[in-house]
């Protein structure tokens, strides 16, 4: 985003501030290539930080007040010394991040800022985590404000303990730690991660947005977590060393099924999805894109049939994509229940996919899609104002 746009927005929102002291921070959204609903099961994920970002232009103040204005003119704020309870509005994500950094005993300062985001809201591209990570960069003078993994954990703590959504580490991790032209394979138990370079000369990364609201997303999301915990509890009766679905193997699944068929299906998805992450990394590194395509297809089918988090719109987008020559891999990405698919597409076939989706998706669903051709970017940071 152009600094001039941010400068104008800041001047319009706060006519009295000294624009010479303006600073700009930004944090990316993400697509997850594979490893869905595995992060909160101590498993593996493979997200990519993308060039759709949340931006905050701000001036630091001497007071302890944080005042933020959005692109649509909405205005809200909070006092760093009296953050209080969530108010069930957009400010909660920003206040929650300040609360979480405060819990760590870190120095924060007041500010007047504008928050402009390129990440579509509710599209499953992690606009919330991007806003939280950008906020942390704005609230602290240290660079980075905190080691990137610690920052991601602080954002997760804000989501879990301030907002009350039991989300995993993947989204803030991708936003804080992203690397250019690469996906990141994260072990959500050890927190070790490594970059997996993407073949972005021959292939484009494309997100197709269902533009369908996330129906029941947070209640269904929390329900999936509870079902995973139920599966672990059943296995642990015979195998006390099992602490999470990360430790469960296929031969343990029948015992879950005797007691709880839903929990067995959820567990089977997670066990196999973790295997698929390792296989996808191997295939990407060896340039075996046909294998990547097969693994994406298996992941989507498993999320549809075993984990039950896809939607007719997501299934339609994947079916349209895989029937389009030059699309090598397609699956839903993120929590599901709406949101986006992620696609790996031969560069020469991107327009073909766009046309196919624009023609067939509205006919099948009555909705207008959106299509984003993405770059893989670095994590959050401050840029020249
Ligand atoms: C959401 C959560 C993540 C992760 C995904 C599903 O994006 O925020 O932590 O659980 O869903 O993989």
Ligand 1 contacts CB of residue 331 (under 6 A)? no
Q: Which atom of ligand 1 is nearest to the CA of 45?
A: 12
Q: Is 159 in the pocket of ligand 1 (CB under 6 A)?
A: no
Tokens coding 9: 């927005």
Name the residue at shortest CA distance from atom 11 of ligand 1: 335
The residues spanned by each domain of the chain are: 3-197+377-383, 203-374
Confidence of residue 197 (pLDDT cuts 50, 70, 90): very high
The two tokens of residue 193 are 């991660």
Query: How many Å lie between the centroid of ligand 1 and the Cα of residue 120?
Result: 16
Q: Are 126 and 30 in contact (CB under 8 A)?
A: yes
Instruction: Return the bridge partners of 342, or none.
Output: 207, 331
pLDDT reported for residue 280? 98
Question: Sorting pLDDT into bands at 50, 70 and 90, what band is 364?
Answer: very high
**Angle (CA) 137 140 145, round 5°:** 60
pLDDT at 219: 87
Residue 216 has pLDDT above 70, yes or no: no
Average pLDDT of the segment spanning 321-344: 97
- Return the number of other C-beta atoms located less than 10 Å from residue 185's C-beta: 22
State what percent of residues in the chain have pLDDT above 70: 99
CB 273 near ligand 1, within 6 Å: no
Q: How far is the CA of 171 from the centre of ligand 1 (A)?
A: 7
Count of alpha carbons within 13 angstroms of residue 251, beta-carbon side: 2
- The whole-angstrom separation of Cα 1 and Cα 55 is 8
Cα–Cα distance for residue pair 364/323, rounded to 1 Å:
15
| Nearest CA owner, ligand 1 atom 8 | 167
Q: Say if ligand 1 is within 6 A of residue 39 CB.
A: yes
Distance, CA of 117 to CA of 115 (rounded, Å): 7
Res 215 pLDDT > 80: no
Q: Lowest mean pLDDT of 110-114, 220-224, 276-280, 331-335, name the range.
A: 220-224
- What's the CA-to-centroid distance between 124 and ligand 1, angstroms? 9
Indicate if ligand 1 lies below 6 Å from the C-beta of 35.
no
Question: Architecture of domain 203-374 in CATH?
Answer: 2-Layer Sandwich (3.30)
Residue of 231, 226, 218, 212 whose CA lies nearest to 341: 212
Task: Report how far ligand 1's centroid is from the alpha carbon of 152 (Å).
Answer: 13
Q: What is the pLDDT of residues 55-95, one digit of tens each?
A: 999 999 999 999 999 999 999 999 999 999 999 999 999 99
Residues 243-301: tens digit of each pLDDT: 999 999 999 999 999 999 999 999 999 999 999 999 999 999 999 999 999 999 999 99
Which pLDDT score is estimated for 213? 74
pLDDT at 194 over 90: yes
In angstroms, what is the span from residue 156 Cα to ligand 1's centroid?
11
Whether ligand 1 lies within 6 angstroms of the CB of 167 is answered as yes
CATH topology of domain 3-197+377-383: Ribosomal Protein S5; domain 2 (3.30.230)
- CB-based contacts of 118: which residues, under 8 Å, 6+ apart? 1, 52, 53, 54, 55
CA 112 to chain centre: 27
Other Cβ atoms within 10 Å of 200 Cβ, number: 17
Ligand 1 atom closest to the CA of 221, numbered from 1: 11
Rounded Cα–Cα distance for residues 279 and 297 (Å) = 13
State if residue 44 touches ligand 1 by the CB under 6 angstroms criterion: no
Quickly count: other Cβ atoms within 10 Å of residue 110's Cβ.
Answer: 20
Query: Is the Cβ atom of 303 under 6 angstroms away from ligand 1?
Result: no
Query: If you measure from the C-alpha of residue 169 to the centroid of ligand 1, how many angstroms do you get, rounded to a whole number?
Result: 8
Q: For all residues of the chain together, what is the average pLDDT?
A: 97
**Which residues are within 8 A (CB) of 319 and not within 5 positions of it... i.e. 6 or more apart?**
none
Report d(CA 296, CA 36) in Å as an integer: 11
Count of beta carbons in the 10 Å neighbourhood of residue 205: 22
Q: What is the pTM of this model?
A: 0.97
Q: Which of 41, 43, 168 to mutate to test the pocket of ligand 1 (most atoms within 8 A of CB)?
A: 168
- Give the pair of three-digit tokens for residue 327: 């699309």
Probe target for ligand 1 pocket from 34, 170, 222, with the most ligand atoms within 8 Å of CB? 170
Compute, in angstroms, the gap from residue 36 CA to the centroid of ligand 1.
Answer: 7
Residue 298: per-residue pLDDT: 98
Residue 335: CB within 6 Å of ligand 1? yes
Q: What is the pLDDT of residue 66?
A: 98
As given in the structure block, the two tokens for residue 225 are 């977590």
* Residue minimizing CA distance to atom 9 of ligand 1: 168
Cα separation, 35 vs 335, in Å, equals: 11
pLDDT for 2-40, tens place per residue?
999 999 999 999 999 999 999 999 999 999 999 999 999
The set of catalytic residues is: 171
Give the whole-angstrom CA distance, residue 9 versus residue 222. 37
Residue nearest to atom 1 of ligand 1 (CA): 335
From residue 147, how far is each of 106, 137, 235 by CA, in Å? 13, 11, 36
CB 3 within 8 A of CB 115: no
> Hey, CA dihedral for 286, 288, 289, 291, is it positive or negative?
negative
Q: What angle do CA 306, 295, 293 make, to 5 degrees?
A: 130
- Tell me the C-alpha distance between 275 and 129, whole Å: 26
């Amino acid at each position: 985003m152009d600094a001039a746009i941010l400068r104008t927005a800041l001047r319009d929102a706060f006519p009295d501030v000294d624009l010479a002291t303006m600073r700009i921070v930004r944090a990316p959204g993400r697509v997850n290539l594979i490893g869905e609903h595995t992060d909160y099961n101590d498993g593996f994920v493979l997200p990519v930080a993308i060039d759709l970002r949340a931006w905050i232009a701000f001036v630091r103040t001497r007071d302890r007040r944080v005042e933020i204005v959005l692109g649509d003119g909405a205005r809200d704020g909070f006092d760093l010394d009296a953050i209080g309870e969530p108010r069930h509005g957009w400010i909660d994500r920003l206040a929650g991040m300040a609360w979480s950094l405060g819990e760590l005993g870190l120095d924060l300062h007041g500010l007047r800022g504008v928050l402009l985001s390129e990440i579509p809201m509710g599209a499953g591209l992690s606009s919330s985590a991007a806003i939280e990570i950008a906020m942390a960069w704005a609230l602290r003078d240290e660079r980075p404000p905190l080691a990137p993994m610690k920052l991601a954990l602080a954002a997760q703590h804000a989501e879990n303990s301030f907002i009350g959504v039991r989300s995993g580490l993947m989204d803030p991790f991708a936003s804080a730690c992203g690397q250019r032209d690469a996906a990141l394979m994260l072990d959500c138990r050890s927190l070790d991660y490594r970059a997996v370079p993407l073949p972005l000369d021959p292939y484009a990364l494309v997100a197709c947005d269902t533009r369908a609201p996330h129906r029941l997303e947070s209640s269904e999301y929390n329900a999936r977590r509870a079902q995973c915990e139920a599966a672990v509890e059943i296995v642990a009766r015979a195998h006390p060393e099992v602490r999470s679905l990360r430790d469960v193997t296929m031969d343990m699944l029948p015992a879950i099924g005797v007691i709880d068929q839903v929990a067995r299906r959820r567990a089977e998805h997670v066990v196999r999805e973790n295997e698929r992450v390792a296989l996808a990394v191997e295939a990407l590194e060896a340039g075996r894109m046909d294998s990547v395509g097969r693994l994406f297809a298996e992941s989507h089918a498993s999320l549809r049939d075993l984990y039950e988090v896809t939607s007719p719109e997501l299934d339609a987008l994947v079916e349209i994509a895989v029937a389009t020559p030059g699309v090598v891999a397609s699956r839903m990405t993120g929590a599901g229940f709406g949101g986006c698919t992620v696609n790996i597409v031969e560069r020469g076939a991107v327009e073909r996919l766009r046309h196919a989706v624009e023609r067939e998706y509205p006919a099948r669903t009555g909705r207008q899609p959106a299509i984003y051709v993405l770059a893989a970017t670095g994590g959050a940071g401050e840029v020249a104002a």
